[in-house]
Amino acid sequence: MMRGCSRSKSTQNLDRTVCMTNCPTLIVTVGLPARGKTYISKKLTRYLNWIGVPTREFNVGQYRRECLKIYKSFEFFRPDNEEGLKIRQQCASAALNDVRQYLADGGQVAVFDATNTTRERRETITVFAEQNGFKVFFVESVCEDPEVIAENIVQVKLGSPDYTNCNTEEAMEDFKKRIKCYENSYETLDEVLDRHLSYIKIMDVGRRYLVNQVQDHIQSRIVYYLMNIHITPRSIYLCRHGESDLNVKGCIGGDSGLSPRGKEFAKYLRQFIQSQEISDLKVWTSQMKRTIQTAEAVSVPYEQWKALNEIDAGVCEEMMYEEIQQHYPLEFAMRDQDKYRYRYPKGESYEDLVQRLEPVIMELERQENVLVICHQAVMRCLLAYFLDKTAEELPYLKCPLHTVLKLTPVAYGCKVESIYLNVDAVNTHRERPENVEVSRMAEEALLTVPAHQ
């Protein structure tokens, strides 16, 4: 939730610190290997960063790899391997040290990704957090389904740096023995013994959740997010509306209809979608004419979301960049200085757009196959979420007209396929010009404006 906090003298550009929590939060994963802890850590981190909460994950396995250099076999993880235990302890401490540094340096949430399967280890972490004034929230993943575990191992463990020199069977065998090393000492979060801790226990990949002592807003949002994600294979298709009449003229915003080429694109989109043979495809549009016209041509039921409407350019609606430079040169320069946070007068910023789109992302997480027909700025925001782009990169992501992006979750990230549907369209992508000073000349400002009629 993006809201600015006030200081006693309000100014036009307030500090955009997010006041959701008053102290940093340490999220601690708990669970045997191959239970999805790293998957959850990375996804949660991506989501929190996207909604504006500075978050970083700290994977103890990575610290161990840096320390050990070469992984020999599961024997390293044997509970009676004194030397192994010492090294693992040191790695955990090193990671916690970095956590402390990060949270002192402006980080808001740190995700401590490790097995943390003993009560003793968790007690150490709780003490560490108390000493430093951090809130702790545990995320435990419990799963006994052998198929799910095997699938996890195949997807993310076999390709791990630990197993670069092994074949599939060897790697699988070794990893299973590694899991065994943890099983005997595993103490799951207990309803009675751990009743004062704040945690969520995720069972069987989301069939069931146990949620205990949620302390504040950010923990509540984390719980809501974790309860909405799933791992059923599916694809998300993102595209813009077909080329519009205002696009052709080089004007931004507005609510115009499709140009003849845009209508062509809509027909091609229909054929493309049919050829993909997607089961149970949901189609979403904004409430603007150009996305709806596009969806109508695809000939499948669709839902209109006002939240998917293009960024509101306020006083600059329906202007060409040349006109903006002419009438609002100051605004134009400020936008180039910080395109993510810049808000059009009487309009919106990309930052506002992200907040507006959060329910769309939440519903996208719940759904399976979805085609989202939207707009340039909106698509940039959605893409940044899926591909973990920063606020600096987001407003300059390339989302050309007449191109469909097919996103398929794989391992810890997203596979992207870009399919250009072979119908010409204007380019609407304006790169950041060199000179972003308010004192710049008109030509410098307009250097990167794409061609139009």
Tell whether residue 388 is a contact of another protein (CB under 8 A).
no
- Window of 57-65, 100-108, 169-177, 206-214 that interacts with another protein by CB under 8 A: 206-214
CB of 1 to another protein, least distance (A): 6
Assess 156 for contact with another protein (CB under 8 A).
Answer: no
Q: Would you count residue 4 as binding another protein (CB under 8 A)?
A: yes
Between the two ends of the chain, the Cα-to-Cα distance in Å is 40
> What DSSP designation does 253 have?
S
Residues 6+ apart with CB under 8 A from 271: none
To 5 degrees, how large is the angle CA 128–CA 58–CA 357? 110
Residue 247 is assigned to a ligand binding site: yes
Q: Which is nearer to another protein, 3 or 86 (CB)?
A: 3
Q: Where does this chain touch another protein (CB under 8 A) — which range of 8-16, 109-117, 118-126, 244-252?
A: 8-16
Distance CA 431, CA 417 (A): 23
151 Cβ contact partners less than 8 Å away, ≥ 6 residues apart: none
Pairing between β-strand 208-212 and β-strand 413-420 as defined by DSSP bridges: unpaired
- State how far the Cα of 330 lies from the Cα of 332, in Å rounded to an integer: 5
Binding site annotation covers 269?
no
Residue 243 assigned ligand-binding role: yes
Q: Which of 81, 124, 188, 228 binds another protein (CB under 8 A)?
A: 228
Nearest residue (CB) to another protein, 69 versus 306: 306
Options 77, 302, 332, 385; binder of another protein; rule CB under 8 A: 302
Q: Is 341 in the site for another protein (CB under 8 A)?
A: no
Encoded amino acid at 363, one letter: E
Residue 118 contacts another protein per CB under 8 A: no
Q: How many residues does the structure list for the chain?
A: 453
CB nearer to another protein: pick between 178 and 380 = 380
Helix (H), strand (E) at residue 129? helix 119-132
* Placement of tokens 């998957």 in the chain: 39
Stretch that binds another protein, among 29-37, 53-61, 133-141, 212-220 (CB under 8 A): 212-220
Choose, by CB under 8 A, the member of 181, 246, 288, 333 that binds another protein.
288
Of 140, 112, 142, residue with least CA distance to 126: 112
Known binding residue 241? Answer is yes
What is the number of alpha carbons within 13 Å of residue 336 lying toward its C-beta?
Answer: 25
- Residue 412 Cβ vs another protein, minimum distance, rounded to whole Å: 16
Span near another protein by CB under 8 A; candidates 65-73, 100-108, 182-190, 420-428: 420-428
CA angle 187, 188, 191 (to 5 degrees): 120
DSSP class of residue 23?
S
In the chain, what's the furthest Cα-to-Cα distance? 75
| Residue in 57, 310, 331, 348 annotated catalytic | 310
Q: Is 94 in the site for another protein (CB under 8 A)?
A: no
x/- map, 358-387, another protein, by CB under 8 A: -----x--x---------------------
> Residue 120: CA atoms inside 13 Å, Cβ hemisphere, count?
3
Q: Should residue 278 be labelled a site residue for another protein when binding is judged by CB under 8 A?
A: no
Place of tokens 């499709």: 258
Question: Closest distance between another protein and the C-beta of residue 416, in Å?
Answer: 4
**Distance (Å, rounded) from C-alpha 424 to C-alpha 47?**
35
- The residue from 57, 140, 241, 351 that is catalytic is 241
**Which 8-state DSSP code applies to residue 13?**
S
Q: What is the CA radius of gyration of the chain?
A: 25
Q: Is 422 in the site for another protein (CB under 8 A)?
A: yes
- Considering only CA atoms, which of 151, 133, 125, 13 is closest in space to residue 58? 125
Residue 191 designated active-site: no
Q: Is 249 in the site for another protein (CB under 8 A)?
A: no
303 among known catalytic residues: no
Q: Is 67 in the site for another protein (CB under 8 A)?
A: no
Window 253 to 272, contacts with another protein (CB under 8 A): 257-258, 263, 266-268, 270-272
304 lies in the binding site for another protein (CB under 8 A) = yes
Please name the residues in contact with 345: beta carbons below 8 A apart, sequence gap of 6 or more. 314, 315, 316, 328, 331
β-pairing, 370-374 with 282-285?
Answer: parallel
Range in contact with another protein (rule: CB under 8 A) among 63-71, 80-88, 96-104, 207-215: 207-215
- Least Cα distance to 366 among 203, 202, 228 occurs for 228
Sites of contact with another protein (CB under 8 A): 1-6, 8, 10, 14, 19, 191, 195, 207-214, 216-217, 220, 223-224, 227-228, 257-258, 263, 266-268, 270-272, 285, 287-289, 292-293, 295-297, 299-306, 346, 352, 355, 363, 366, 416-422
Query: Residues comprising the binding site for substrate?
Result: 240-247, 290
Q: Which residues are tagged catalytic?
A: 241, 310
